[in-house]
Structure 1
Amino acid sequence: MSKKHRKEHHEEHADESWLIPYADLMTLLLALFLVLYAMSAADAQKFEQMSAAFSSAFNSTGGGSNILDHDSAVPLEQSSKTPKTTDNMEIEAAKERAKDLQAQKEQEQLEQLQAQLNEYMKKNGLSDQLSTKLNHSELRITIKDSALFDSGHATLKEESEKVAETIGSMLKPYKGYQIIIRGHTDNVPIKNSRFASNWDLSSARALNFMKVVLERSQLNPKHFQAVGMGEYHPIVSNDNAEGRAQNRRVEVTIVRKYSNHTKTLTTPAN
């Protein structure tokens, strides 16, 4: 009788040991979904906070290895970014190489143009009136005002129009460059019926020279600027007649397009 009673008592309590692995499985699934969610989120800081919280909770149960201890999410993110970073670097490097080649071609063009100008000056005995200078930002042609204008006037002398025409024809093959023509005076004040100041005189000289260049060469006017600089950018002192004569000038500047990529410079002046 007692044995039967004990048996019936044992059957009333079903085996519940399956609940432990079931609960562990549910916990792991919950953790997995949370990790997947955290990995898809843009805010890495929130993921780290969530990971720390769950790590603390799981470790306190002593329930074996904690999947949040593994930092596989970080390498995955890095591996996804690495190819993009490499591609971007290669693209940028290719762009830099292309610009270097263009700068090299530009350097060769400006050196050729400078050589043509120097040869023209030499053949026509103008080396004391014109000079050229090539540097990292521009090719500059400097023309003394006495080679172009009568004193106090802004109309090109008839024999000097040939200079403007020649410069224009030499510029024709080199399209796309910005051309800036600047007029400069000395510091002696001028005031006559035509010009109220050196600003007016220098501006008129630059503009008139530019007009002749454009008329004779048929170059695109949108690439040209005429600027009056007045007396405020001397290249030497105005204390004597020789210095003032050098400061009275017209400058034709061909502006480089790839000045930051120029590595080899030539700066002879004639």
Structure 2
Amino acid sequence: MPQKFQLVLSSFKGSFYMLPGGKTFTEAPLMDMGQQMTSMTSEKAGDELDESQQNAVFVFQAEIKDKRIQITTDERGVVITFASDVYFEGSSAELKDDMKLVLQKLSKVLKTLPNYFRVEGHTDNSVIPEEFFGKNSPTNWDLSTGRSLNVLKYLIDNDFVKPE
């Protein structure tokens, strides 16, 4: 049976969350963390997972050095965490140009894997002011959904992934 990976993209309340059992490739703390890519453990773990990890570290070495991305592993596989304040404005679902460049790099990692993926979004710690939108003001739930959809749409619209 072919190796399967699941990719999860999530941002969360502006703080870095280390999943239990993870190990890090960097020792220094990252900036405000918010985006997270997770590649789930394959049926053929071990060397293949190590290779995926090494490939991701190679592709994102500049971002790791700048503490904009951190790569860890846990029982699910490779976890790529992005600094939220670098890739989204506060209370915004619009992708910054830097995020688009990172997603282009991510596509290089994805193309080496027989994978399926899921995109999840969470919010930053900003409150969306009601005065901008009236009583139907978007909530942080709307923000997390918007971020997820914008990431997925960008990946699909640029032929980085196929919507299968």
What's the TM-score once normalised by structure 1's chain length? 0.39
- 1:116 alignment partner AA: N
- By how many angstroms is 1:115 displaced? 1.5
Q: CA deviation at 1:220?
A: 2.5
Q: CA deviation at 1:161?
A: 0.6
CA distance in 1: counterparts of 2:78 and 2:160, whole angstroms: 21
1:134 corresponds to 2:68: no
Aligned residues: 119
Distance (whole Å) between structure 2 residues aligned to residue 186 and residue 155 of structure 1: 13
CA RMSD, 1 decimal: 2.6
* Corresponding position: 1:183 with 2:95: no
Q: Secondary structure at the match of 1:103?
A: coil
Write out per-residue CA displacement over residues 160-193 of structure 1, whole angstroms, 9 at most, x where no aligned residue.
2110111012101212x23122222244432443
Shift of 1:131: 1.5
Structure 1 vs Structure 2: percent identity of aligned residues?
23
- Which protein has greater RCO, CA pairs closer than 8 Å, 6+ apart? 2
| Structure 2 portions without partners, runs of 5+ | 1-41
Quick check: 2:63–2:69 contact (8 Å CA) kept in 1? no
Given that 1:131 and 1:142 are in contact with CA atoms closer than 8 Å, whether structure 2 keeps it comes out as yes
Q: TM-score, normalised by structure 2?
A: 0.60
Q: Which of 70, 75, 83 lines up with 1:144 in the alignment?
A: 83
Greater percentage in strand:
2
Task: Kindly indicate which of the two structures has a greater share of residues assigned to helix.
Answer: 1
- Residue 103 (str. 1) matches residue 53 (str. 2): no
Decide which structure has the larger Cα Rg and report it. 1
* Ranges in structure 1 where 5+ consecutive residues have no aligned partner: 1-101, 223-270
| Aligned counterpart, 1:169 | 108
Partner of 2:144: 202
Deviation, structure 1 residue 126: 5.2
